[in-house]
Structure 1
Amino acid sequence: MNQGSTRRSEPEGVRTAAEADLDQLSRIDNEIFPHDAYPYFVLRQLFDVHSDGFLVLDSATGLLGYTLLATKPDVKTSWVLGLGVVPGSRGLGHGRRLMTEGLVRLAAEGVGEVRLSVEPTNVIALNLYHSLGFGVVEERPGFFGAGNDRLIMGLPLADRR
């Protein structure tokens, strides 16, 4: 069978990541965040600890993006540890799709609030998060070390249950 003739380019859907995805996740993380990608061993450990919150957007041509959600043991707060879409697939609503699915799952689990950090100059991410209902709750100079300032954004999930 010629696999090339059966491949589609449109997304098939958001699903929970599988261990078999780790090599491809590492490759796309390096493509998405060339200067800030998770080292493979960290990605592996995050998968082992937070596999239920590791969502990927899968297509017949491969993974188009991912989000990583980590919920604190008390289930009051979950953090978005990563959201990214491969460069050739940006601007098509894939990041929104990943985040929306993640928020639905977190609300169903009873999570009270979702938080994330974002670079203050990342206008595209800020627009996405604002449109999903997130608001800035804190400015954190040096959050990721000197010169790596971040805005902390939060979204209460009580209204989504």
Structure 2
Amino acid sequence: MTVRGAREGDLGQLHDIDRLIFTDDAYPYFVLRQLLEVHGERFLILEHERELTGYAMLATTPDNQRHGWVLGLGVVPQARGNGYGRLLMHKAIERLAADEVAEVRLSVEPNNEVALNLYRSLHFTTVEPRQAYFGPGHDRLILARKLG
């Protein structure tokens, strides 16, 4: 397993696995393209034998409080249960800490117990529930972890 920065050549495969993982909630190709352009060094790829196995998309906010966000985290279904999500989150936290981020935030589906268990084991706590965060019927919990 290798975690590396995303490259333009990864976009097609990244789009395919994002659709596999998140189906109707997957990012459109053009959004992935723009996220790579804007946040390239914060777009992490998990690769196994030249196959994209997972990813973490990160961003920082342009404020003085230096917040970071995990915009997306995913591992292909056949590779789950091997600690790859945890590995990606550790690398994401390291990357955002290098950017001197004071706090990392993310959103998660309230009923996604696997993701909630992972994030809580990494010391994320619930900041607030958000109704219709991604539109009607798409409630989320906002979690955060202080860095430094």
Q: TM-score range by the shorter chain?
A: over 0.9
Alignment TM-score, normalising by the size of structure 1: 0.89
1:125 is matched with 115
1:61-118: CA deviation from partner (whole Å, max 9, x where unpaired)? 4010000001112361011110000010001000000010110111122111000010
1:50 is matched with 39
SS in 2 for 1:91: coil
Instruction: Note the C-alpha offset of 1:59.
Output: 1.2
2:79 is matched with 89
2:104 pairs with 1:114: yes
Q: Counterparts of 1:80 and 1:105 in 2: how far apart (Å)?
A: 11
Q: Counterparts of 1:70 and 1:108 in 2: how far apart (Å)?
A: 13
Identity score, percent: 58
Query: RMSD value over aligned CA atoms?
Result: 1.0
Give the 4+ runs in structure 1 shifted more than 6 A: none
Q: Counterparts of 1:51 and 1:138 in 2: how far apart (Å)?
A: 29
Instruction: Note the C-alpha offset of 1:124.
Output: 0.3
SS in 2 for 1:33: helix
SS in 1 for 2:23: coil
SS in 2 for 1:24: helix
2:9 is matched with 20
- Equivalent residues, number: 147
Alignment TM-score, normalising by the size of structure 2: 0.96
Structure 2 gaps, min length 5? none
2:129 is matched with 139
Structure number with larger C-alpha Rg: 1
